[in-house]
Structures are given as C-alpha cells and as structure tokens.
C-alpha cells in the first residue's frame, strides 16, 4: 500500500450492514453493503430485533470480502472506524464491537464516528475538496437535520425535525397507500407520472425567525385525511402533491440558512438526497455563488466508505476512542 493510510469503516446503525476500505480518506478500495430491506418489508419499517441479528450474521463475511477485494490483510490497516451514534442500540453494537475486536487484536486506533457527520462526508469521497464552513442538510429515514459544519467533529445543529423524519413520512404515506417499502423511491416514481400537478396539501411551517425546524406529522395526517375523504383520488396526484410539500421545506430551510449565515457551500446527504425532484428544486434555486454537493445515489444510503472516510480525518488529528466507548441512540 506504499505510503497510503488505509482504514476500514464499519456501519450497522439501522438496516444496512456496510463495510468499506478506504485509502487516505478519499479512495474507495472496496465496499460491501448488505441491505435488510427484504427482512423488514412486510412490517413497513425496521424491526430492531431482526435488524441486530441480521447485522451479526453478515458482518464478518463483509469484512473478509472487503479485505480480499482490496487485496490486503488486517495487517495493512492503520485504523478501524465504526459508527457509534445515533441509531438502533442493538444494531450499532454490532459494528462497534467488531471494530473494538479489530482494534484490540491488531493494535490499531479505534475511531468512533457520528453517523450524521459521516453522511455529510460522503460527497468528499468523490474527488471534491472540503471547504469549511458548509451547510449540511441530512435527510434520511431516521433524521431530518440542518447543520453548520465548522470543521471535522465540529457540527453546529441549526434545526431538527420536531416529529417524523422526511424519509419516514415518505415511508408512512406509502404504507397508508399500500404501495410498499421503502416508500421514497415508489412515491418519487408515482409523482413523476402525475399530470395535473395541482397543490392539494398546505405548505409546511411558515418562515420563522432564525429557526430551522422541520415537521412532517401534519402533512402525513393531511394526506391520510384526504385519502379517507377522496377514496377515488389519483394516487399519482397525491404522491406529487405530498412530495412537493415534503421537499419544499427542505429547500427553503437550506437556502434560508445559507443566506442568513452567508455560507454558500451546501452539502445534501442521506437516503432522501437521492430523490431527483429534490435535486431539481435545489438546482432551480441555486445562484452562481453557491457550490452544491450531492453524493451519488450509492453513497446517499448508509455505507462503510463514509465511515472510513471521516475516520481518516479523525485519525490524522489523533482523535482516537477508548475501547470503553459505548453506543448511543440519540444524535
Ligand atoms: O439514509 P437511508 O438509506 O437510511 C437511514 O434512514 O438510515 O435512508 C432511507 C430513507 C427511507 O425512508 C427511504 O424511503 C428514503 O430514505 N428514500 C427516499 C428516496 N430513496 C430513499 N425518499 C425520497 N425519495 C427517494 N428517491
């Protein structure tokens, strides 16, 4: 591996077991993701007990596979990084405990990574340099949050959802319409087939002074009530109108924060960031002075590369974790 610093990243915070080997925090040498969607589909959401057991069953094979594909052994690793928060406790434990075992056995630093910070690092695995500060919008099945990222490990939370996460709202609306799971990609597809494109649902939250909160339970209830009152309504029109409202608030908050804080580098990450309509709405509002980063769809979802990538930055700064570190459910 020459002079390169090679690290392994392990991720199991929710329903994807993911491992990756990354050189110098930017070159992905190998990566593997085991998605558990098929195990949770019938429940329309992630079942924690099923998730943690499934992580345990596959993580060792994924690690072996990644080492082989990168043509290295454990001895070539300079550090091991794992997500330790936030997420499902039983799930988080699988990656963190595996990382502790590798760290202890190979005498290499253990680096515990904040899942949301890792997501925001994803675009920088694709050849872009990072300029701090930037505004980070994290949109997934478990989180909807806006950050001002000042440096590695220095994230200032600007606003959060007060109830459901945006991805969760897509999933719940899809569940109510019996469309399947995960709901995001299905609703996006149906929305693109709408023809009338009339607004059905009200705008979420007005502009408030310097707060960047999000809320999805009102919109979700509005959709459910509408379907009760209009059982013959066109599902594509419902999907379109729901999606417009769900995404509009994200775009509004993102650009409000950019304007107020005078920060023009914007990073959007997490599963919902693969939504093409979200990208379109953001690029419609973008001005010449904005620089916008979206990870490619494979790096939007949970993955090990983002963990190994941000782990490298911690490694360079000597920010190691003790073996006594524990997982945490909350952000
Ligand atoms: O980041 P992620 O893979 O997993 C975690 O939440 O940890 O995000 C999954 C979420 C699900 O709620 C899914 O419905 C949503 O992202 N999602 C989308 C799209 N693709 C995935 N939501 C809207 N549009 C999409 N194209």
Q: pLDDT per position in the chain (331 positions), as tens?
A: 678 999 999 999 999 999 999 999 999 999 999 999 999 988 888 899 999 999 999 999 999 999 999 999 999 999 999 999 999 999 999 999 999 999 999 999 999 999 999 999 999 899 888 889 999 999 999 899 999 999 998 999 999 999 999 999 999 999 999 999 899 999 999 999 999 999 999 888 777 666 899 999 999 999 999 999 999 999 999 999 999 999 999 999 999 999 999 999 999 999 999 999 999 999 999 999 999 999 998 899 999 999 999 999 999 999 999 999 999 998 8
Residues 98, 205 share a domain: no
**Domain containing residue 269: CATH number:** 3.30.420.40
| pTM higher than 0.75 | yes
Report how far ligand 1's centroid is from the alpha carbon of 322 (Å).
32
Residues 252, 281 share a domain: yes
Measure CA 66 to chain center. 22
Residues 242, 282 share a domain: yes
Residues 117, 79 share a domain: yes
Report how far ligand 1's centroid is from the alpha carbon of 57 (Å).
24
Residues 285, 311 share a domain: no
Judge whether 324 lies within some domain.
no
Contact at 8 Å (CB) between 24 and 308? Answer: no
Rg of the chain (C-alpha set): 20
Site to probe by mutation for ligand 1, drawn from 272, 276, 278, 307 as the one with most ligand atoms within 8 Å of Cβ, is 272
Residues 149, 268 share a domain: yes
**Ligand 1 atom at minimal distance to the Cα of residue 87:** 7
Contact at 8 Å (CB) between 72 and 6? Answer: yes
Residues 12, 90 share a domain: yes
Judge whether 127 lies within some domain.
no
Report how far ligand 1's centroid is from the alpha carbon of 44 (Å).
13
Q: What is the pLDDT of residue 209?
A: 66
Contact at 8 Å (CB) between 34 and 322? Answer: no
Indicate if ligand 1 lies below 6 Å from the C-beta of 86: no
Judge whether 14 lies within some domain.
yes
Enter the DSSP assignment of 203: P
Contact at 8 Å (CB) between 87 and 13? Answer: yes
Report how far ligand 1's centroid is from the alpha carbon of 105 (Å).
36
Query: What is the span of the domain harbouring residue 174?
Result: 132-294
Judge whether 207 lies within some domain.
yes
Instruction: Give the CA-trace dihedral at 82, 162, 135, 93, to 10 degrees.
Output: 0
Q: Looking at the 3D structure of the chain, how many domains does it have?
A: 2
Q: What is the pLDDT of residue 204?
A: 84
Report how far ligand 1's centroid is from the alpha carbon of 271 (Å).
4
Residue among 253, 205, 245 nearest 226 (CA)? 245
Q: Which residues contact 139 (CB under 8 A, 6 or more apart)?
A: 165, 166, 167, 250, 268, 269, 270, 271, 272, 273, 278
Judge whether 331 lies within some domain.
no
Site to probe by mutation for ligand 1, drawn from 40, 140, 282 as the one with most ligand atoms within 8 Å of Cβ, is 140
d(CA 5, CA 50): 35
Judge whether 92 lies within some domain.
yes
Residues 281, 169 share a domain: yes
Judge whether 323 lies within some domain.
no
Residues 281, 182 share a domain: yes
Report how far ligand 1's centroid is from the alpha carbon of 182 (Å).
7
Indicate if ligand 1 lies below 6 Å from the C-beta of 87: no
Residues 116, 78 share a domain: yes
Judge whether 69 lies within some domain.
yes
Residues 195, 278 share a domain: yes
Residues 196, 232 share a domain: yes
């Amino acid at each position: 591996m020459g002079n390169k610093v090679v690290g392994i990243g392990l991720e199991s915070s929710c329903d994807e077991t993911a491992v990756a080997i990354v050189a110098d925090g930017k070159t992905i040498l190998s990566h593997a993701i085991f998605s558990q969607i098929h195990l949770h589909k019938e429940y329309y959401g992630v079942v924690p007990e099923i998730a943690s057991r499934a992580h345990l069953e596959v993580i060792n094979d994924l690690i072996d596979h990644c080492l082989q594909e990168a043509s290295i052994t454990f001895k070539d690793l300079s550090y091991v990084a794992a997500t330790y928060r936030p997420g499902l406790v039983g799930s988080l434990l699988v990656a963190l405990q595996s990382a502790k075992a590798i760290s202890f056995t190979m005498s290499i630093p253990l680096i515990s990574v904040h899942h949301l910070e890792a997501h925001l690092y994803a675009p920088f695995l694709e050849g872009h340099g990072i300029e701090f500060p930037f505004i980070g919008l994290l949109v997934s099945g478990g989180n909807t949050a806006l950050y001002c990222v000042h440096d590695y490990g220095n994230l200032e939370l600007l606003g959060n959802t007060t109830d459901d996460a945006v991805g969760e709202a897509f999933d719940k609306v899809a569940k109510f319409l019996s469309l399947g799971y995960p709901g995001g990609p299905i609703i996006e597809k149906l929305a693109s087939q709408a023809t009338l494109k009339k607004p059905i649902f009200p705008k979420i939250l007005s502009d408030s002074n310097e707060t960047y909160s999000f809320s999805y339970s009102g919109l979700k209830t509005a959709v459910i009530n509408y379907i009760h009152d209009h059982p013959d309504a066109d599902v594509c029109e419902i999907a379109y109108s729901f999606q417009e409202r769900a995404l509009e608030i994200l775009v509004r908050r993102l650009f409000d924060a950019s304007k107020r804080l005078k920060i023009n580098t914007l990073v959007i990450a997490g599963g919902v960031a693969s939504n093409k309509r979200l990208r379109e709405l953001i690029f419609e509002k973008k001005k010449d002075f904005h620089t916008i980063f979206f990870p490619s769809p494979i790096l939007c979802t949970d993955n090990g590369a983002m963990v190994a990538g941000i782990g490298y930055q911690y490694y360079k700064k000597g920010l190691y974790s003790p073996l006594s570190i524990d997982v945490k459910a909350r952000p």
